[in-house]
Amino acid sequence: MRTIEFLYILLLSCLFDAEAQQKNNPLFESKEILPLQLSYTNKQIKKETNKEKGIHTNLLYKQGQNWDTLPISLRARGNFRRNTCYFTPLKIYFKRGGTQSTPFENHKNVKIVLPCLLEDRSNDDVLKEYLAYKMYELLSPIHFKTRLATLEYTDTRGEKDELHPLAIFLNDSKNSLYNDEGAWAARKAKNHTLLTILIEDDKVVARRHDAKVLKRFVHPLNQEETISIINAFFQFMIGNTDFSTAYSHNQKLIFKEGKSYPIPYDFDMSGLVNASYAVVSNINNTSLDIDKVTERQYRGFKRNFALFEDTRMHFLSKESEILKILEAHKPLFNESKSYETAHDFISDFFAILKNDLRFQKEIVELAREK
């Protein structure tokens, strides 16, 4: 028999879903992979972190058999990835009024997640992170909408970065043909085919739910408890420790009717993705009792035990749908082993929920008090 608390989860989902259905979002309604093309200098983009100094270029997107163009500006996101990765995540800004009658209508900007490194597995890692977003969509009515895209990216690499091969034989600074910049040649552009994720802006999420984006810190125990526990269970499910509801790390908050609701994002450090560069988080110098991201540690706070039980029931009711999400995307994996390990990782989470002792030991007893 369902408890009052579990019925509240269902009511909350119905309430927010009803609101969301009234505010269409064309870009994210389609389940088709969106083909994109971009050209910019990879080295330069890492230096541009604010909107005003963004790189101006064109975004090409494909509808049917035709390619269309939108003028945009780009900036880099994320300190870790800018310093560590070959590619950096981006934020795309559209010109006012320039998106009418396009898939990007009603969006001032969108985020785009790129692979981190030049590895054979990189596109599979992006796919697994995308699947984490889609799983959370099933679990919480308040979430970021996402869409998978392919990106044909041309790294223009800048001009005059390499000495022309003939310059060594023409070392004459007075020669007007080769002095100043004349002895330098443009580097050859590099082309990359990448799997990427488009993510809506937090203001779009808030607007969809008649809420506001909250820019200040709120203690986790003062955030709406049902969504907070769902968030914590989800992070445990995907094996993610790279978040903090206390410090708003990889979390956004929206505020509605006196309550704040957390919305998680950025799951590349999770055990589900298991990226080659992933490490166990050390937020605010807090060391954890695990050594690998594929080991789980519950990071949620202590709550009423009945709410834990109801959230457990909620997740178990979604098990088959969550596994179907994985199975439906199996053909997109480049390596079958990558799919199989992801499937096994999520299946083990549900094994924990189904085992009373494991649920008590690995979740309930490890809930935080501070």
How many structural domains is the chain composed of?
1
Residues 74 and 48: their CA atoms lie apart, in Å, by 8
Global confidence as pTM: 0.89
Q: Does 173 score more than 80 pLDDT? A: no
d(CA 336, CA 168): 50
Contact yes or no for 252/202 (Cβ under 8 A): yes
Tokens matching residue 365:
């007893």
The arithmetic mean of pLDDT across residues 184-203, rounded, is 89
**What is the per-residue pLDDT for 177?**
43
Domain presence at residue 178: no
Read off the pLDDT of each residue in 32-56 and give the average, rounded to a whole number.
88
Q: Is the pLDDT of residue 182 over 50?
A: no
The mean pLDDT of 215-238, rounded to a whole number, is 96
Q: Is residue 180 part of a domain?
A: no
Domain assignment of residue 181, yes or no: no
Q: What percent of the chain has pLDDT over 70?
A: 86
pLDDT range class, residue 81, cuts 50, 70, 90: confident
Evaluate whether residue 44 is within a structural domain.
Answer: yes
Give mean pLDDT, residues 213-235: 96
pLDDT bucket at 165, cuts 50 / 70 / 90? low
Does 147 map to a domain? yes
Segments forming the whole domain that contains residue 263: 4-155+190-364
**Interval 288-344: pLDDT, tens:** 989 999 999 999 999 999 999 999 999 999 999 999 999 999 999 999 999 999 999
Q: Across the chain, what does the average pLDDT equal? A: 88
Q: Are strands 34-40 and 146-155 parallel, antiparallel or unpaired?
A: parallel
What pLDDT shows up at residue 23?
A: 54
The answer, yes or no, to whether residue 19 has pLDDT greater than 80, is no
Instruction: Identify whether 18 is part of a domain.
Output: yes
Pick the range with the lowest mean pLDDT from 155-169, 229-243, 267-281: 155-169
Residue 172 lies in a domain: no
Say if residue 215 is exposed, middle or buried (CB neighbours under 10 Å; 0-12, 13-18, 19+): exposed
On whether residue 82 sits in a domain, the answer given is yes
Residue 1 has pLDDT above 60, yes or no: no
